[in-house]
Chains A and B, each alone.
Chain A
Amino acid sequence: MSFNKVHSGFKVFILFLTALTISSCAERERYADDEITELRFWHGIESPENNLLLEEKIKTFEERNPHINIILENIGAQDSAMPSIMTALSADRQPELLWFAPVYTGRMAESGKLYPAEKFIENDTEFNPEDIYEGILESGRYDGRIYTVPFETNCLAFYYNKEHFSEAGIERYPQSWKELRQTARKLTRHFREKGEDSFGMLIPLGTQEWTVWTWQNFLWQAGGEFLSDNMKEPGFNGRPGVEALKFWKKLVYEDESAVFSERNAGYKIEPFIAGKVSMMINGPWNYPELKEQDEINYGSFPLPENEKKATNIGGENLFIFRSTPEKEEASWEFAKFIMSEEFQAEWAMNTGYLPVNRKAAESEKYRRFLEENPFIKTFVYSMEFGKSRPPVKEYSRISERLGRALENALYRRKTPEEALNQAAEDSEDLL
């Protein structure tokens, strides 16, 4: 009797499990109170300090907008986040808000699931688009419309080791390619005299975006363009591109005054902090960490010019996905909060990113911050000649091909001309 009971209890359990499996497959998303608008916000901010600051700021936002509840989810940095985003989009389970690289604007706009922020910008009198730096706002444009809005921005400049510079007797930072080459040689010669195996400069190696992003500075400085004017053909394989690539190779192989980074680790500051290299190209976001390592020894200077000045603008945008009118409205409220003078100034002063809002950049407290932190000032100054990567749908795939070409040339498996022409040829059908 008791056995039978257990037995039938077990049966019920199995049936229950089955039912659960079936029902959970069919379950739809449930919403909390009608009153509260929940927004899922996916981001990939890595540093723990920046995560804490974001949480704190979101609390402030929620206090001011009690009907909005932001659910933060960290999905990892760019390329590890990609599979999550692709899966979510194809299953129609995308979040309401996404923090992501603006180069993906076009691809996601094509899905029709992106809410064009321009619609809000046009109709919201509270928001003045002129507060936002034009070049940065443009990074979210696709097919004539602004889809995504800037969250934070940055650009590239050189880090340098002040101690190395003064030991080697270098009094001013290099302004041109020629001077850069001389500086790197001088530094390296100094190291050799001391019997050290450090180098003047670090050159990124690897096929990933970091290498391509850094290399584009040199392409532009040599007078080149990534794409032709009508954006229908690759432009990186012309004379300036070849020159830029040859310049890198010259520093490494001919002068032996620069050294390659570990593969796909050109952004890592360890070799710089360890004093293995005196100069490296990087962004402002490492400033908090550099300061922690050594308050005074690290400085920055703008990228040197060749035919012209150029630096590559980076940063992340806020993507708003289509959902319900209430959620879209709430998302826009949040986007406005992010772009506000208040948020931008505080975010910039704590993270090292640069403000996207002109008013924040010109505010009293941010200016004082720059005076106290000349390291960041270099980057703010550089933004004046900053350029964005082209807003074409296939940018990331073209960058892949170019990345492989750069590697081929830097490993001396192909000449710069051959490698770049190959990448251009492979990219033509993407445009």
Chain B
Amino acid sequence: MRRKSYEPFLYLTPGVFFLAFFIVLPVLFLLVLSFFRWDMLSGAISFAGLENYSEMFKDPALYNALKNTVLYVAGVVPAGMAIALFIAVQLKGKLRTYSIYRTSIFMPVIVSLAASGVIWLWIYDYRSGILNHLLSRIGISQINWLGNPDTALISVIIVTLWQRIGYNMVIFFAGLQVIPEQLYEAAMIDGAKASGQFRYVTWPNLLPTTSFVLVINLIFAFRDFDQIYVMTRGGPMSRTTTLVYHIYETAFAEFNIGMAAAVTMILFLIVMAVTYLYLNYMGEKA
């Protein structure tokens, strides 16, 4: 059978279609939208030029959202990675009981974020939540976890950690699997203790995995929405309004689609920058 030159492209069509329609076009459309005034309900649409952008930068809500996002990312990513790595190293062995631990740590990952948000709402409940109940047993007075502007963000961060650690752990496991056993044996012969083994064998060999987890976690953290929507609605006092929640509010409560698109472009640029740095870094390594 003679190969025709267009044939490979034919096979690509479905994939290209998918990519074009569900990724490239929406992003382009978003960019276009950010130059328009549109409320989606009344249908009135008009060209705004750069107005959305200039208005956006004048809006203190944007800076508040950026600040919260930075705090949130800083709270979620390093801790989420460190705890997951620690657990992965501890539970690396093949013991039967370990697999029970691993499964239970992974469990939150399969629960939808919205559902776990609801569960945590009950746990955090000021008056009848189990957390405050347990704390009162050890003599700590009740804390209004989600209602107090000073504890709301950290409370959301804890839920995200609870959810994400299992996911990170599994990837770290995969990374640990491929580190040859001989390296550990050699290290042991040289007299390395657990900490030395980690420092000189595990850590350097795990670096590609770690950087992958870092990027994925950064991207996840910038995009987290469900738990905030379910638990705090961006409050109290807008203290848990992250960029994504700010976009949601701008679009669906303020009906300002153009401005929401403009803020989304900011988020898009941030995530792009993270990805670019990562690819660059990986390129150097390879």
* A interface residues (Cβ-Cβ under 8 A, vs B): 4, 11, 14-15, 17-18, 21-22, 25, 79, 82-83, 85-87, 89-90, 104, 107-108, 110-113, 205-208, 260, 262-264, 270-271, 274, 276, 393, 396-397, 400, 404, 407-408, 411, 413
Q: What residues of chain B lie closer than 8 Å to A82, measured between beta carbons?
A: 252
Min Cβ gap A399→B in Å is: 9
* Stretch of B76-84, B205-213, B232-240 contacting A (4+ beta carbons < 8 Å): B232-240
Is B125's CB within 8 Å of the partner chain A? yes
Name the CB-closest residue of B to A106: B42
| Interface pair B147/A86, CB less than 8 Å apart | no
Name the CB-closest residue of A to B21: A25
| Interface pair B253/A396, CB less than 8 Å apart | yes
* Stretch of B10-18, B186-194, B274-282 contacting A (4+ beta carbons < 8 Å): B10-18
Q: How many residues of B contact A (CB 8 A)?
A: 33
Q: What residues of chain A lie closer than 8 Å to B88, measured between beta carbons?
A: none
Is B44's CB within 8 Å of the partner chain A? yes
A262 CA / B237 CA spacing, docked (Å):
14
Min Cβ gap B154→A in Å is: 15
For the A-B complex, the count of residue pairs with Cβ-Cβ distances under 8 Å equals 91
A141 CA / B197 CA spacing, docked (Å):
75
| Interface pair B127/A271, CB less than 8 Å apart | yes
Contact of B233 among A86, A208, A270 (CB under 8 A): A208
Min Cβ gap B178→A in Å is: 34
| Interface pair B42/A107, CB less than 8 Å apart | yes
Is B255's CB within 8 Å of the partner chain A? yes
Interface residues of B in 2-24 (CB under 8 A from A): 10-11, 13-14, 17-18, 21
A88 CA / B166 CA spacing, docked (Å):
38
| Interface pair B147/A110, CB less than 8 Å apart | no
Interface residues of B in 108-164 (CB under 8 A from A): 121, 125-128, 146-147, 149
Name the CB-closest residue of B to A21: B17
| Interface pair B13/A86, CB less than 8 Å apart | no
Is B254's CB within 8 Å of the partner chain A? yes
| Interface pair B127/A110, CB less than 8 Å apart | no
Q: What residues of chain A lie closer than 8 Å to B43, measured between beta carbons?
A: 89-90, 110-113
Known: A18-B14, A89-B41. 20 other contacts (CB 8 A): A14-B14, A21-B14, A21-B18, A25-B21, A79-B253, A86-B40, A86-B252, A107-B42, A110-B42, A111-B43, A262-B146, A262-B147, A263-B236, A264-B235, A276-B127, A276-B128, A400-B254, A408-B237, A411-B149, A411-B236
| Interface pair B42/A108, CB less than 8 Å apart | yes
25 residue pairs bridging A and B, Cβ less than 8 Å apart: A4-B1, A14-B11, A14-B13, A14-B14, A79-B253, A82-B252, A83-B252, A86-B41, A86-B252, A89-B40, A90-B43, A110-B42, A111-B41, A111-B43, A112-B43, A262-B121, A262-B146, A263-B147, A264-B235, A276-B127, A276-B128, A396-B253, A397-B253, A408-B237, A411-B149
